[in-house]
Structure 1
Amino acid sequence: MPTSKPAYLLCLLALAPLAASAAPQPVALPQAVSAPAQGAATPAQLRELRSQQAQWQALPESERSRIRDAARRLAALPPEQQQSLRATFAAQDARFRDGWRLGPTLGAQFPKLEGLFGFLPVEQRDTALSVLRQLNADQLAQLTLIAQRTPPQERDTVRAAFLALAPADRDRWLHAHVVR
């Protein structure tokens, strides 16, 4: 399922400081999305940068490559269009913006998955992210339907059951829960 150009750009804006520094050929991004000058960062900013770096490194190389390509496209846009995209992104809810740090594939689906995966216990986060990244487009689409249909009081149970599945059992489980 192809992702639209704006979706790539939104993902880039969430990971821009890291995409620019991780690109094999540096992309000149405006100051508005770059890291604070060395020595000028507060402890909170440093923690945030470390978190962003860890999120960047956790992305599969194919996702990082897509983000680098988006960085190049963003840098090629006229400055006023870049600023417009940044303003649109900044105006979004923080949870929406943070969802894009999961990369282009999961970032595009995050608003639909948030019910099941937006508020995970710490001990489930790595497992959940690993499982979500293993899903193909059809499985991810089915899971978004389940996430949207699951009442709040059942989310923990449904999520735990899904995360406990062996990869070979996911298709059957997803299909059974979509047709309910």
Structure 2
Amino acid sequence: MPRIERLLPLLLALLPAAPSLATPAALPAVPVAQTGTATPGPDPRAHWPALDPARQRELRARYAAWRALPESERQRVRRAAADMAALPPAEREALRNRFVALDRLHRDGWRLGPQLGAHYPKLQPLLGYLPEHQRAPMLALLYQLDATQLAQLGVLSQRTPPQERDALRERLLALPPAQRADWLRQSTESR
């Protein structure tokens, strides 16, 4: 699957809130002064009051998700955005339609970045009802895991009964980083 198709859900989950990802065609024309520097264009915040509160919340959530991504994940998104901008309009629209057809839960999972977004459907039982005090430490931990470890955690997440997921998260968070890979492998084999 081409890179753009793997990252499309993330792009569509974040792009409207990440102005730095906008393609030149999507930006308003900005006149260039005689000095050769661009003059400020229309202020996008001017339209903010006209948006309904639900749309404002959505855009805030997207922007917060973008800001929370590690820089390496942002770079992957920027490259994919450039690839997407180069596609013919019909192909971009077809990809957008595929994204819209996804369950909202999975669309929102892509806000966690390319790596976590790809694993989110299986991680959701573990992360879907994450207590606020565990959110930042758990996300930091997840960004440290490789694809194999994320897949193993996805298996654990699926196999762990709801009443045991809190204990699973606490155990995972308490593990020293050097022991996580072995623990994930052993836990996956024993379940």
Provide TM-score, normalisation by structure 2: 0.81
Distance change (3 Å), C-alpha of 1:158 and 1:3? farther
Structure 1 counterpart of 2:121, one-letter code: P
Is residue 2:120 matched to residue 1:110?
Answer: yes
Structure 1 runs of 4+ aligned residues shifted over 3 Å read 2-5, 25-30, 34-39
Q: Secondary structure at the match of 2:105?
A: helix
SS in 1 for 2:129: coil
Kept in 1, the 8 Å contact 2:125–2:157? The answer is yes
For 1:174, the equivalent position in structure 2 comes to: 184
- Partners of 1:160 and 1:22 in 2: CA distance: 36
Mapping for residues 60-99 of structure 1, pairs under 5 Å: 60-99=70-109
Greater mean deviation of Cα atoms: 40-49 or 74-83: 40-49
Go from structure 1 to structure 2 and tell me whether the alpha carbon gap of 1:148 and 1:27 turns closer, same or farther (over 3 Å shift).
farther
Q: Which of 97-106 and 148-157 deviates more?
A: 148-157
Number of aligned residue pairs: 174
Match of 1:22 in 2: 20
3-state secondary structure, aligned to 1:114: helix
Query: Secondary structure at the residue paired with 1:9?
Result: helix
Post-superposition offset of 1:172: 2.4
Gaps of 5+ in 2: 28-43
**CA displacement 1:111-150 (0-9 Å, x = unmatched):** 0111111221222111111111111223222212211222
Structure 1 residue aligned with 2:7:
8
Contact 2:23 2:85 in 1 (8 A): no
> Quick one: distance in 1 between partners of 2:86 and 2:101?
23
Deviates more, 1:113-122 or 1:43-52: 43-52
Question: Normalized against structure 1, the TM-score is what?
Answer: 0.85
Alignment deviations for residues 25-68 of structure 1 (CA, whole Å, 9 cap, x no partner): 844349xxx99944422233223222211110111111111111
Separation of aligned partners in 2, 1:145 and 1:114 = 11
* 1:86 to 1:37, Cα distance in 2 relative to 1, 3 A: farther
What is the Cα deviation at residue 82 of structure 1?
1.2
Letter of the 2:101 counterpart:
A
